[in-house]
Amino acid sequence: MCTTQEGYGSDLMIRQSAANKLNLCLMFKILKASEEGDFLKATQLAQLLRTILSRQNEQRQGST
């Protein structure tokens, strides 16, 4: 963990970038499952994405 204010900002940007990549990956998997007609998988992935986004929003609100 970084101790300087600048380092903290960089760490935060790295974590946000990783979270964005995860979210995009899940979105593409949802799209692919839907295109393949695997609606159960698409539904499960969508629920996972909603859970992750909800937690991310809670963390953002808690840090402000």
The length of the chain, given as a count of residues: 64
User: Hey, what are 29's tokens?
Assistant: 């998997």
Model confidence over 8-51: pLDDT tens digits?
Answer: 678 889 999 999 999 999 999 999 999 999 999 999 999 999 99
pTM: 0.77
What H or E segment, with its residue span, contains residue 54? helix 39-63
* Residue 6 in domain: no
The domain in which residue 59 lies consists of 23-64
Give 64's pLDDT tier (boundaries 50, 70, 90): low
Q: Is residue 61 part of a domain?
A: yes
Site of tokens 């393949």: 36
**2 is a domain residue:** no
When divided into structural domains, the chain yields a total of 1
- Please report whether residue 52 resides in a domain: yes
pLDDT of residue 19: 94
User: Is residue 12 assigned to a domain?
Assistant: no
